């Protein structure tokens, strides 16, 4: 019996291959977007973990010298001879011909297990590692290094952009002879150890953190991506829900027949569930494979984004990890089950001999619509409440969720209302029929239209955010990149004396990595001249911030630092042990992930005498002349000099790469929505013949009917677009004013881009027209005999 029933069930798909394709493609697309995003997140997390593992960051307590300084190797001996079980680490950047890499020098005998293992791959060659220390790096970095610095060992588990080697070799490569960057405090310490102050008073103990700084910084970014993935999945689920709903509705007749022939209801339901499970597994597998392709295509840009935003390095290639493909499959099955439950519920309650009315499904009752409206109102109210009382990233995403789902649920009732209004205002019978028929078709199309609404709103929202960001960022670059030439040199004094006569202003850049208000941050010493005073715009400031900073009596901080630490103008900030300065201003800073504070150059030099500036901004009337002089007369290499234009172009290029991912996901989501409309129309078309036949019989030509069908799709899409724009703007506002502040630490002004929205609406209308084109064409070519048959069946 099972076999016969299964064959009967399967025959439906055989007769409707397109519907089968819809179902599988919808599930696969939804899974692909979701698992692609998860694969990217998993890869990034693995990179952070590798970094934490190979660099020992976050997992162990560390002893750090004062900001910007290194410790003498004698301090290492003093610590060990006092019983302190610590392992020395040397860390710095090594310039190679094709870019710079981070060199981490370890002492494998004393390093914690994970780090030592990372440094000595293959488990075997500690003796070799000590006698002729190799550089251990991921394959791409290993290729970049070549053989110029001795043997190179490839090991994919080493953090991206990082080279591990023995401490002695690292000291030589970096020019850090006899110096140590930091000490890792090992887990097991002996009894009777003297306090740190008595052994190494210059060091500060930094406790281990739950995760690395990088992981915490980037959490919000990944939450963003995950939200995007979920949105895509939700859109995909609309398709699946629609396809499954239709398929079951069309099989009502078959269900009735099978039950009449004696197949028990339970068994029938079990068989249908099994059938869908198989389909979902197949679609899920296809989706996971597609997700892999999406991740592989997008990961390089994501890696660039994360490096640009957070300075963290992420591997550029995707590995197949169970955490994402399993979650992809699980969510596919879950989504399919959700869609199936509804359909099975209805079949279970259907009287055994109920008339298999084909339109029954589409004509969802008024009760369901009332529920939907109530849910929409509830969700939108919740969104409003969250705007007022919500706090934090999760609340912001909850707000987004309520807003989007609420709006989607509100769409059908609102559209129905509008169509009723239109119907009342028309006099011509044909048009009255058109509006009434459109309204009646709404229920069948509503899921696809909801998907379209969400996709368009996401498009409007994200593009508004990105464009607003671009405008702000460009202005910011104009403010910041005011110098004509930027020069990197190790010999600050020579450059300054050489360039002084040819420049109107020299702006050295010197900084230390430190912790401000307990957060990782950079502290800069600036020579405050006309450029700073004229160009920099503050978000908030005292009356004369630059005067106070120049006198050494105040500090200015970037918005990230101010927001994350809760410090604002008028509060004080400790820039060094025992040096507290009032904050005179908060400046916008969109090129930098972490906190930044600026003090005057003399104060900086007094606090950090070891740090000398290595980068300079030069202002001059004749940049090309100065450039030539720097190369020819001072002997600087060409590569050490960058002009303003090139730097701006580079910064903008980084910016554009940053948002490639958002753009790509946007297009994919929109494509999914278009597909949903197409499929809905296609499946509805055949079922609608009984409605169209009378109109045809009254004298309307098939071609006219087809044109009306096309028009209907365009009208519905247009109405949806009209609703999508304000929804998208609300989305943009949440992203800019709430999510960005939490995720990146800055609040951006919102700009509107009406032309963009028009273009998007145009694209959506064209997409809707295209989606309707084929069904309309089929209608135009429906043989009159088919239309006549409708009447024959009624007899």
Partner 1 sequence: MNARIIAFCLWPLPALAQGFAGMGSDAEGFTNPVPGHAFEFPADHGPHPDFRIEWWYLTANLQAADGTPYGLQWTLFRSALAPFEAEGWDSPQVWFAHAAVTSEGAHLVAERFARGGIGQAGVTAEPFDAWIDDWRLWGPDFDDLRLMATGPDFAYDLALDAQGPLIFHGDGGYSVKSEAGQASYYYSQPFFDAHGTITLPSGVVEVTGTAWLDREWSSQPLASGQTGWDWFSLSFDSGAKLMGARMRGADDAPYTAATWIEPDGSSTAYTDGAFTAEPLEQTEVGGRTVPTRWRVTLPDRGLDVTVAALNPQAFMTTAVPYWEGPVRVQGSHAGRGYLEMTGY
Q: Which residues bind partner 1 (CB under 8 A)?
A: 73, 76-77, 80-83, 85, 107-111, 113, 116-117, 120, 123-127, 130-131, 166-169, 171, 188-193
Strand extents, DSSP E, 354-411: none
DSSP character at residue 260: H
CB of residue 574 vs partner 1: minimum separation in angstroms? 35
117 or 259, CB closer to partner 1?
117
Determine what percent of the chain falls in helix, strand and coil, rounding each to the nearest 5.
65, 15, 25
CA distances from 409 to 318, 345, 355, 508, 706 (A): 37, 21, 30, 57, 29
CB closer to partner 1, 88 vs 525? 88
Q: Which candidate, 43, 584, 635, 81, places its Cα nearest to that of 300? A: 43
The distance of closest approach from Cβ of residue 125 to partner 1 in the complex, given in angstroms and rounded to an integer, is 7
Q: Between 79 and 419, name the residue whose CB sits nearer to partner 1.
A: 79
Contact 597, 523 (CB under 8 A): yes
Whole-number minimum distance, CB 172 to partner 1, in Å?
9
For 404, 442, 719, 723, the CA distances from 450, given in Å and listed in that order, are 10, 11, 12, 11
Q: How far is the CB of 55 from partner 1 (least distance, A)?
A: 17
C-alpha pair distances (Å), 659 with each of 132, 466, 665: 44, 7, 10
- By beta-carbon proximity to partner 1, the closer residue of 180 and 304 is 180
CB of 203 to partner 1, least distance (A): 17
Q: Cβ 191 to partner 1, closest distance in Å? A: 5
- If the CB atoms of residues 77 and 198 are measured against partner 1, the closer one turns out to be 77
Q: How far is the CB of 100 from partner 1 (least distance, A)?
A: 23
Say how far residue 370 (Cα) sits from the centre of its chain: 36
Nearer to partner 1, 85 or 440 (CB): 85
Nearer to partner 1, 188 or 639 (CB): 188
> Is the Cβ of residue 131 or residue 148 nearer to partner 1 in the bound state?
131
Shortest Å, Cβ 80 to partner 1: 5
The CA radius of gyration of the chain, in Å to the nearest whole number, is 33
Strand partners, 510: 525
Q: How far is the CB of 205 from partner 1 (least distance, A)?
A: 18
> No. of H helices and E strands in the chain?
28, 20
- Annotate 703-743 with three-state secondary structure: HHHHHHHHHHHHHHHHHHHHHHHHHHHHHHHHHHHHHHHHH
Shortest distance in whole angstroms from residue 77 CB to partner 1: 5
Q: Which of 614, 611, 612, 616 is nearest to 68 (CA)?
A: 611
Is residue 749 within 8 A of residue 691, CB to CB? The reply is no
Which CB, 178 or 762, lies closer to partner 1? 178
Nearer to partner 1 among residue 86 and residue 312 (C-beta): 86
Q: What are phi and psi of 783, to 5 degrees?
A: -65, 140
Q: Please, which residue, 129 or 696, has the CB nearer to partner 1? A: 129
Residue 180, beta-bridge partner list: 71
Please give the Cα distance from 707 to 703 (Å, whole number).
6
Residue 539 CA: distances (Å) to CA of 588, 591, 600:
6, 16, 20
- Closest approach, Cβ 81 to partner 1, in A, equals 6
Q: Is residue 639 packed enough to be buried (19+ CB in 10 Å), middle (13-18) or exposed (0-12)?
A: exposed
Contact 65, 202 (CB under 8 A): yes
The closest alpha carbon to 526, from 615, 645, 648, belongs to 615
Distances from the Cα of 193 to the Cα of 74, 85, 184, 639, angstroms: 18, 10, 16, 51
């Amino acid at each position: 019996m099972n076999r016969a029933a299964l064959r009967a069930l399967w025959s439906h798909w055989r007769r409707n291959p397109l519907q089968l394709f819809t179902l599988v493609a919808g599930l696969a697309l939804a899974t692909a977007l979701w698992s692609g995003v998860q694969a990217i997140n998993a890869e990034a997390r693995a990179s952070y973990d590798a970094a934490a593992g190979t660099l020992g960051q976050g997992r162990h307590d560390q002893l750090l010298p004062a900001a910007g300084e290194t410790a003498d190797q004698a301090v290492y001996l003093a610590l060990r001879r006092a019983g302190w079980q610590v392992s020395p680490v040397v860390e710095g950047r090594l310039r190679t011909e094709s870019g710079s890499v981070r060199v981490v020098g370890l002492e494998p005998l004393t390093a914690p297990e994970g780090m030592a293992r990372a440094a000595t791959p293959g488990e075997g060659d500690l003796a070799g590692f000590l006698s002729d220390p190799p550089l251990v790096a991921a394959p791409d970095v290993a290729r970049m290094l070549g053989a110029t610095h001795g043997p190179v060992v490839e090991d994919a588990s080493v953090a991206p952009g990082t080279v591990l080697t023995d401490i002695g070799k690292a000291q030589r490569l970096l020019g850090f002879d006899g110096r140590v960057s930091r000490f890792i405090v090992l887990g097991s310490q002996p009894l009777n150890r003297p306090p740190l102050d008595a052994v190494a008073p210059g060091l500060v103990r930094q406790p281990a953190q739950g995760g690395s700084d990088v992981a915490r910084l980037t959490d919000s970014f990944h939450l963003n991506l995950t939200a995007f993935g979920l949105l895509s999945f939700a859109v995909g689920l609309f398709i699946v829900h629609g396809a499954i709903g239709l398929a079951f509705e069309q099989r009502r007749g078959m269900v009735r027949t099978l039950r009449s022939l004696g197949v028990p209801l339970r068994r029938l339901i079990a068989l249908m569930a099994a059938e869908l499970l198989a389909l979902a597994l197949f679609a899920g597998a296809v989706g996971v494979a597609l997700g892999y392709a999406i991740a592989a295509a997008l990961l390089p840009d994501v890696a660039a984004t994360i490096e640009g935003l957070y300075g963290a390095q992420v591997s550029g290639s995707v590995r197949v990890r169970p955490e994402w493909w399993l979650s992809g499959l699980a969510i596919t099955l879950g989504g399919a089950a959700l869609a199936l439950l509804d359909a099975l519920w209805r079949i279970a309650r259907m009287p055994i001999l109920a008339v298999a009315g084909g339109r029954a499904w589409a004509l969802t009752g008024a009760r369901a619509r009332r529920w939907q409206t109530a849910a929409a109102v509830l969700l939108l109210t919740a969104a409003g409440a969250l705007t007022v009382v919500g706090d934090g990233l999760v609340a912001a995403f909850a707000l987004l969720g309520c807003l989007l789902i609420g709006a989607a649920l509100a769409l059908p009732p609102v559209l129905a209302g509008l169509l009723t209004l239109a119907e009342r205002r028309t006099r011509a019978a044909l048009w009255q029929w058109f509006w009434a028929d459109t309204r009646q078709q709404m229920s069948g199309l509503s899921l696809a239209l909801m998907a379209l609404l969400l996709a368009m709103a996401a498009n409007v929202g994200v593009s508004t955010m990105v464009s607003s960001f671009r405008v702000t960022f460009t202005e910011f670059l104009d403010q910041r990149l005011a110098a004509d030439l930027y020069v990197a040199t190790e010999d600050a004094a020579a450059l300054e004396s050489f360039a002084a006569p040819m420049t109107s202003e020299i702006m050295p850049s010197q900084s230390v990595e430190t912790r401000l208000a307990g957060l990782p941050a950079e502290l800069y010493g600036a020579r405050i001249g006309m450029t700073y005073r004229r160009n920099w715009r503050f978000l908030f400031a005292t009356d004369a911030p630059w005067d106070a900073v120049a006198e050494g009596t105040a500090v200015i901080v970037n918005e990230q630092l101010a927001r994350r630490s809760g410090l604002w103008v008028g509060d004080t900030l400790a820039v060094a042990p025992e040096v507290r300065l009032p904050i005179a201003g908060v400046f916008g800073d969109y090129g930098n992930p972490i906190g930044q504070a600026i003090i005057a150059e003399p104060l900086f030099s007094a606090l950090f005498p070891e740090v000398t500036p290595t980068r300079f901004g030069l202002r001059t009337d004749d940049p090309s002349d100065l450039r030539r002089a720097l190369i020819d007369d001072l002997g600087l290499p060409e590569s050490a000099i960058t002009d303003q234009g090139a730097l701006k172009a580079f910064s903008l290029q980084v910016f554009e790469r940053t948002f490639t991912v958002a753009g790509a996901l946007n297009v994919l989501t929109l494509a999914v929505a278009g597909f949903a409309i197409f499929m809905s129309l296609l499946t509805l078309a055949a079922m609608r013949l009984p409605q169209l036949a009378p109109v045809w019989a009254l004298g309307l030509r098939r071609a006219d009917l087809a044109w009306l069908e096309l028009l209907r799709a365009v009208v519905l899409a247009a109405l949806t677009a009209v609703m999508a724009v304000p929804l998208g703007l609300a989305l943009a506002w949440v992203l800019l004013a709430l999510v960005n502040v939490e995720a990146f630490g800055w609040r951006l002004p919102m700009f509107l881009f009406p032309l963009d929205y028009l273009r998007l609406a145009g694209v959506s209308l064209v997409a809707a027209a295209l989606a309707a084109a084929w069904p309309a064409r089929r209608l135009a070519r429906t043989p009159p005999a088919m239309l006549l048959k409708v009447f024959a069946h009624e007899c």
